[in-house]
A and B are shown apart, each in its own frame.
Chain A
Amino acid sequence: MLIEYIAIAVLLVLSTAVALIAVGLGTIFGPQKKSEAKSMPYESGMSPYGEGTRRMPVRFYLIAVLFILFDIEVVFFLPWAVVFRQLTWFGLAEMVIFITILLVGYFYAWKKGALEWE
């Protein structure tokens, strides 16, 4: 029942408390001298320019999508690998078919130039 999760609750409370105490003690007892240099985003002296959220080139998107598409197939590899010995040649044949279909997609993306950066 829920009682088994009490440890997690204790952990949550303790970690929150530790963080609050560490920051809180510093704010209460530490010396506070405000200056313009200190309130800048980068105290090291670098003056910020441009907007915080920069646009990424759309080329990253294509790579990301191809990554997702080929990456998600791993969910089928893992259970297959676990029972591979029981499946014997049948499992092997299935996986060859599966990978062939993936390779068709890969070949298509390649020939269409989706893997070129420029």
Chain B
Amino acid sequence: MVDISYYILLSAVLFTIGAVGVLVRRNPLIIFMSVELMLNAANLAFVSFASMHGSLDGQIFVFFVMTVAAAEVAVGLALIVQIFKSRHSINVDEMNSLKG
């Protein structure tokens, strides 16, 4: 049995990688993958805490996070495809028609 703190450490590392990825990457697809990494880091934390507490609540929460993430993927990809169709580029640095 691996000590619970290793899992938590791993999930914290994954979460940080995801958060930094969102901030430094410029491609919306990669940014979105980083967001997914953050959500999955939380999932890992949930299941390990659930096994630590012997409570199923954490496992159930993971189901909901996964379902919601899928719904987000559908909406996000639709937006990205739409933007790519209209301007043939999805670099967020070029999205500057709104400022002030």
Contact = CB atoms under 8 A, between A and B. Distances in A.
B2 A65 contact: no
Contact of B77 (A1, A61, A75): A61
Given A58-B81, A65-B74, A65-B77, A72 B1 contact: no
A65 B47 CA distance: 27
A72 B78 contact: no
Interface of B is mostly: helix
B67 interface: yes
Contacts of B3: 1
A68 B63 contact: no
Contact of A61 (B2, B66, B71, B81): B81
Interface string A38-79: 000000000000000000001001000100110011011001
Interface residues of A, number: 14
A79 B56 CA distance: 12
Interface string B62-74: 0100110011011
Nearest to B84: A58
The residue in A65, A76, A79 that gathers the most chain B C-beta atoms within 10 A of its C-beta is A65
Interface residues of B, number: 14
Contacts of B71: 69
Contact of B70 (A1, A4, A61, A72): A72
A82 to B, nearest CB: 12
Contacts of B73: 65, 68
A79 B63 CA distance: 10
A2 interface: yes
A63 to B, nearest CB: 12
A27 B45 CA distance: 46
Contacts of A73: 67
Interface of A: 1-2, 4-5, 58, 61, 65, 68-69, 72-73, 75-76, 79
Q: Can you list the 4 inter-chain pairs with the closest CB atoms, starting with the nearest?
A: A72-B70, A65-B74, A75-B63, A68-B70
